[in-house]
Chain A
């Protein structure tokens, strides 16, 4: 499960619906893995305004990952302009300006889309329910009496 998903997932129990501690769930005994994905700046641009940055920082801390900057990066900071040799130019003299993902975007991509919880559990801060994660799949099936 991607760290991105942890920024949206809540406890599934009805009694936690209106609680403000049922999000984010807290990873425990988590084993992380990196699963490489193609860089997609457009997706980052779409999702960035929807992130809850403080909660993301909290989870990153709980997982023992390097701390995030205190505020959410701006959309502008996701790309930067770079000079590149023009295509089909045998002289190599001509350069064009291209937009490429910035280091900020590469770091966000690494954290949100490539860093995954492989094993462990996710614990609700409100009811204490533990959702097991096995091979990256979280079990959100609730026994009837907990629905």
Chain B
């Protein structure tokens, strides 16, 4: 049984004119942190909406913890943070958590215990009596995320959870997510913050215009680029470049170094040998790893 399974989910809007999502298939194991990436309008929110029956699929089916999404009990152990959520403004943080907890079927005794813990975790303790109309965007986002955890769900869908949250808050949310992952929860994230995603995800899929164009483990997206950055003493920069040219090696010259395109370790060592033969002091050699951002830009363009 998978935590989340999508079997060809397809969603067209406006009588087929807008193909928001096309034949999306995915299987996510329990305990995985899964991130869905893609430019604006790629269909990320649409997928979550189909999984939670907020939108009705044109075709295809989905399962959460083995239950079909059309069955409302599939949402029993689910937490969800909507991308532009709003709460009734006349409620304060405590009341919001209470109200949404009740709707998720949480018992009052559990709520009494859980609400203070969540408020503390999300740094909302001081503001717990403040009406949510008076909240800042980041505070609302924290409350929204706290709300998604109120029923201690097994599967958590977060649509851009760190949107509008300051850097310190983002680190805190990351820690909360990692803690949830440790407890075996499955987390599904839509995000634009690639550096965040890179840090916490186990698996990543990239959507473009409603189609999945790549899916894999996070490490697959951070593959080595086959480039090394070599730094030598400044006075020998010219000779260094000449040597690279004579060895017929492609490189990009920088002010104090060069990014060298190398096929294997042997080639790297022969470059180093040549440099040492000329008595050039090497200040550093670093492997250049592609970031998720590089990968994303490359594949989307």
Please indicate whether A and B come from the same complex rather than being unrelated chains: no
Q: Enumerate chain B interface residues (CB-CB to A < 8 A).
A: none
